[in-house]
Chain A
Amino acid sequence: MTSEHAVDHHDVDIDKHVRIYVTVFVALMALTIITVAISRLHLPVHIAVSIALLVALIKGSLVACYFMHLISEKKLIYAVLGLTAAFFAALLALPALTTSNGFWIH
C-alpha cells in the first residue's frame, strides 16, 4: 500500500547529492564573504555593480542548479524558465533604455 520501495532505492544517489549540498554550502559561504569583502574596497560604481552581479549570479546558479536540482531537470521546465528569463531581461533593460540617461542609447 505505501510504496516504500520507491522511496529508498535511491539511497546511493542521495548520498552523492548530500555531498554536493555540503560542497555548495561551503562555496556559498565563501562567495558571501568575498562579495562583502570586495564591497569594502568601494570600487567605482560600474565595476562594483558588475562584480557584485557576477558573484550573485554564481551563487544563484549554485542554489538553482544543486539545491533546486535544476541541473537535472526536464526540458519542459527549462523551456518555461528560458521564456521567463527572456521576458525578465526585457523588463529590466527596456524601461531604463527609454530614459535619456539609460544605459547607452539616448
Chain B
Amino acid sequence: MSEMNNDFSKSKAFLIDMTKCTGCRGCQVACKQWNQLDAEKTTFFTGEGYQNPPLMSEHTFTRIKFRDYQKNGQNEFAFYKEMCMHCNDPACASVCPVGAFVKTKEGPVTYDAERCIGCRFCMVACPFGVPKYEWSKAFPLVKKCTGCYSRILDGKKPACATTCPSAITYGERGEMIKEANRRIGARPEKYLKKLYGEEEAGGTSVIYLTALPFDELGFKHVTKRPLPSYTWQALRLVPGIFLTVGGSLSLLSWFTHRKERLKKEAEQREASDNTPKEES
C-alpha cells in the first residue's frame, strides 16, 4: 500500500482558500443539514472569536476554527476549516482490521459502518484526528465527513462546497493544485508559498491556501510520508519473520535434540546388543 504510484490527479479534491474564508460557518450548517446531525449544546463561544462547537465530534464533521490575535500590532482574525482530509493513502484505511475504510476512486474516503467492530484504531492512527466516535450510543460507530459521497456520485458537489460563497472550490485534484499555484503566482504577497495537504500524509484531497503560517492558523504538523508506509515497513517482514523464527528454532531443536537422540539410539542399540547375549 505504501508503494502506491496511483495517480490521484483525476480524483476529486477540495481547494480551500482560507484567505477568502470569512468564517461565516455556512459550511458547518450545510454539513449538519445534509447529514442530519444533531446540534451540540453550547453556552458561550468555545475558543477564540465566535468558535463553536469546541471540537469536531460524532455530531460535527466540519468546523471553522477561529484565530483572533494580534501580530506585530496588527489584528489577525483568521479562519481554518477543519475536516476529513480524504487522504490519498489513508492511515485509517490501512489500520482498520476489517477494511471498513475505502479510498474511492472518486476521491472521498468512505466508511462502511456495517463492517466496523469498534476497535478505534482509526482514531489513533489518523494524524489529523478526524474520526470521532458515537460515545452517546450503546453500540457506537465511527463518525466522520463522508465527502458527501452520494452527492458526488450524483454529479453534485459536497454540501459545504456548494454553500460556500467564496473560499471552497471543488474539482479534480490536479486542477485544484494548478489553480492554487496560479493564485500564489498572481498574488505572491497574499499567500504563503506552500499548500497544506499537497504533500501532508503523502497527499490529501483537501488542499489549503493560507496567508498565515500553518501552525499559527492551527494546522497540525503532519509527516509528508504516507502514514501506512510506517506500518508497512514492519508488517511486510511478517511472513519472513515467521519462517525465519520457525525455521531457525526447528533447526536449533533438531541440533540440540540430536545429542539426546544419538544417545538414545546408542542406548537402544546397546540394549538390543545386550539382550541377545543374555539369552544365549
Q: Do A and B bind each other?
A: no
Residues of B within 8 A of A (CB): none
Q: Which residues of A contact B (CB under 8 A)?
A: none
